Amino acid sequence: MLDKAVQRALRPAMTRAARGLVRLGVGADAISVAGFATGMAAAAAIAFQQFLPGLALLLLSRLMDGLDGAVARATTPTDRGGFLDITLDFLFYAAIPLAFALADPVANALPAAVLLAAFIGTGSSFLAFAAVAEKRRLQSLAFPDKSFYFLGGLTEATETITAFAAMCLWPQWFAPIAYGFAALCGITIVLRIGWGWQRFR
């Protein structure tokens, strides 16, 4: 829901940083892999109950996730890069709830499982819409720089990172945060199914 506004606000700074990285010879795919590795380090820190270091690594990972697209736009975006970016993003988003489950299995395993199930719903509706939109050669007006038709929703990247940050800051409240965010994901799933049902008539 907030991604478009956040991306618009950050775009000038991201563009300047991307130009500097391009001058240094740093490619978008390398940043994607580095961001993913940083995200996995965040998950490992959380699993060992190092929540504040985990939060710092998590935010750094998402910064890199923004930079890889900016670097790609400053050079030549590729289908391979788009595929790599979205695949590693989905793995990252799954790793964080799992890390909280490992940190405290008794308290966190069930809410983490519920949240992961909700993520499967948002992810599958996101990718299914993108696949059919590509088949019909539709283009997104809201996110024209994405590698494929980017369908938004109530729970996008900005909201997800905010929820993860809250979990790291108040890990004792992981369960209610996870259940609440899973409910919001459920609304996104219903909305996307409705949009797809109408759009693909």
pLDDT in tens, 156-197: 889 999 999 999 999 999 999 999 999 999 999 998 898 888
- The CA distance from 100 to 44, in Å, is 10
CATH topology of domain 3-199: Four Helix Bundle (Hemerythrin (Met), subunit A) (1.20.120)
Q: What confidence score (pLDDT) does residue 8 get?
A: 77
Average pLDDT over residues 15-41: 89
Distance CA 190, CA 125 (A): 9
Q: What is the pLDDT of residue 90?
A: 94
Between 146 and 47, whose confidence is greater? 47
Q: pLDDT tens for residues 77-102?
A: 888 988 999 999 999 999 999 999 99
Nearest Cα residue to 196 out of 145, 144, 122, 85: 122
For 197, residues 6+ apart whose C-beta sits below 8 A from its C-beta are none
**Confidence at residue 117, expressed as pLDDT on a 0 to 100 scale:** 97
Q: Give the pLDDT of residue 148.
A: 47
Give the chain's mean pLDDT.
88
* Mean pLDDT computed over 120-130: 89
Confidence of residue 64 (pLDDT cuts 50, 70, 90): very high
